[in-house]
Amino acid sequence: MCKIQFPQFIKCKDGLKMHPGLTILEFARMAGVKINAECGGIGKCGKCIVRIEGGEENLNQLTNIENSFNLKDKERLACQARIVRDKSDMTVYIKNFGEYEILKYGMEREVPICPVYRRKGSRIFKNGTPLENYRGKIYGLAVDVGTTTVVFDLVDMENGDILETVAKTNPQISYGNDVISRIEYTLVDKENKKYFEKDERERRVHHLRMMAVDQINEAVRELSKERGEDISQYIYETAVVGNSTMRNLFCGMDVSSLGIIPYEASHTDAVVRTPDEIGLHTNEAGTVYGCALIGGHVGADIVADILASGMYKDEEISLLIDIGTNGEVVLGNKDRMISASCAAGGAFEGAAVSCGIGGIAGAIKKIEIVDGRIAYSTIGNKYPIGVCGSGLIDLLAQLLDKNLMTKNARIRQDFSITGDLKLTQNDIFQLITSKAAIKTGWKILLKHYPVDIADVKKIYLSGGFGNFIDVKNAMKIGLIPDVDESKVIKIGNGALEGAREILLCKDSQKLSEIVAKNVEHIKTNEVEKDFEYLMAENMYF
């Protein structure tokens, strides 16, 4: 039997046995090779481009879908290239190979230290109950499981110090770049057009869970190797945040209800598991704490954002915006907070935009039009391979400012960014649709609180995307409210910062559960009778 190689991945350098009948994407998933398949492998996004070096005769002919993407010589879409023969070895290179530029840090602030696991003398106690002898260290993990990325802090729970911050691409991206794709993978048998039986749903949830969990286990092993000792024995507690789908998948829970009307999680309370139940290779006497959810698709990551911003204890009214594939907004103060999720789609993360790409090396992150010429910078100062979200916001704002795009979001012809990259009218439509979802979300919250934007004293931007955008340009296109720039506060990875607080303080664990229950979850399309009209209105400038 011949072999297929993915030389960019260490574990696949020696080759793996070929499996005729599978697409390259299906094979890569089986082998644990990460390929960015933002549409879930149905041939819509065109992001899963691979280059075949030898062994092309093993594959089917180019499909009609592939022909529509103007692929270069030797390039195929992994979701369309099917292994139909086993005649020779094949080498596959992934075009968009590379880790995302991931925001690792939140705001610098003091966090109270009153953890569940504490040392007294030579013993470790859990909530006051003797557990085992002190091994010399007490560590914890604060984990933010995102749709695209997995980030965690290794924390010394005796003094609160962050010892390491590790950021990885979530390997689940091979099943799509949004939560709906992950839910559908666990729920829908598309080939036979029916729902999976319970056993198959559980198997698929387990598979997605272990993809994320194994990523963390591998990172802990790497840290152990660097430090010259097995640090897993010192890790007693893991605090996990994420959106509703990601948290429940990580905890091994059915997420099908999040994909079916009324789109509510089957379990919103905090979840406590043993490391063995989750599959984490940490101290077996430890705990995994999945933080509580608010409701619908407003999850534990937003609870953590609220804690990190401190808006839950302020007299003044604040607005929190977390921009992503599933955008979330929260409005309020210590007396009342309301929230909503916004189905923004993945346009600002590169999906459905012909020149779009995630925040990886070579992505254009900043754009300016000067005297009719394009000036840009890329992540890692690499050759430009696409435009990520912050660059797309800049580009829209610049086109508008230079009268190259009308207020109705129309351009006369495709706009060339580089020789290979251009922005089309359809790309603009995808972007303004995503923008409209976020804008409609915060405008409806303002209306139903009710409060005027002038009365909002702070606007918190959370997450990597919010941290990297140009605030003025985001205001110019209407993505965030047009206010005095001094009101806008970037809190970095607020979800990770909030998770660290929950890890270090059992009182903050309880507080997070109270906050999750007290924040009102609003479904914007239900409370606003003119929702569709507002969405359409907010698409334009």
State the pLDDT confidence band at 16, using cuts at 50, 70 and 90: confident
Q: What is the mean pLDDT of the chain?
A: 91
Q: Is the pLDDT of residue 250 over 90?
A: yes
Q: What is the CATH number of domain 117-297?
A: 3.30.420.480
pLDDT at 1: 78
pLDDT tens digits, 219-234:
999 999 999 999 999 9
pLDDT at 109: 66
Average pLDDT over residues 350-366: 84
State the pLDDT confidence band at 443, using cuts at 50, 70 and 90: very high
**DSSP 3-state of 232:** helix
pLDDT at 317: 98
CA distance 65 to 268: 40
User: Which residue, 146, 106, 330, 306, is CA-closest to 242?
Assistant: 146
Dihedral of the CA atoms 307, 312, 317, 323 (nearest 10)?
Answer: 30
CATH topology of domain 3-94: Ubiquitin-like (UB roll) (3.10.20)
Average pLDDT over residues 514-526: 96
Q: Is the pLDDT of residue 510 over 60?
A: yes
CA distance 119 to 38: 46
Least confident window among 95-109, 277-291, 422-436, 465-479:
95-109
Q: Is the pLDDT of residue 13 over 70?
A: no
Which of the following CATH numbers is that of domain 303-345+431-500+504-538: 3.40.50.1980, 3.30.420.40, 3.40.50.12780, 3.40.50.620?
Answer: 3.30.420.40
Instruction: Give the DSSP H/E element, type plus range, for residue 461.
Output: strand 456-462
CB under 8 Å to 386, separation ≥6 — which residues?
A: 96, 350, 355, 356, 357, 362, 363, 364, 421
Pairing of strands 139-145, 149-156: antiparallel
Domain ranges of the chain: 3-94, 117-297, 303-345+431-500+504-538, 355-423
**DSSP 3-state of 314:** coil
Least confident window among 130-144, 171-185, 485-499:
171-185
Q: Is the pLDDT of residue 103 over 70?
A: no
CA distance 257 to 538: 30
CA distance 77 to 141: 37
**Angle, in degrees to the nearest 10, between helices 494-504 and 300-309:** 80
Whether the domain at 117-297 and the domain at 303-345+431-500+504-538 fall into the same CATH topology: yes
Percent of all residues in the chain with a pLDDT value above 90, rounded to a whole number? 71
State the pLDDT confidence band at 53, using cuts at 50, 70 and 90: confident
Q: Is the pLDDT of residue 20 over 60?
A: yes
User: Which residue, 252, 327, 287, 250, is CA-closest to 502?
Assistant: 287
Whole-Å CA distances, 538 to 225, 331, 535: 52, 19, 5
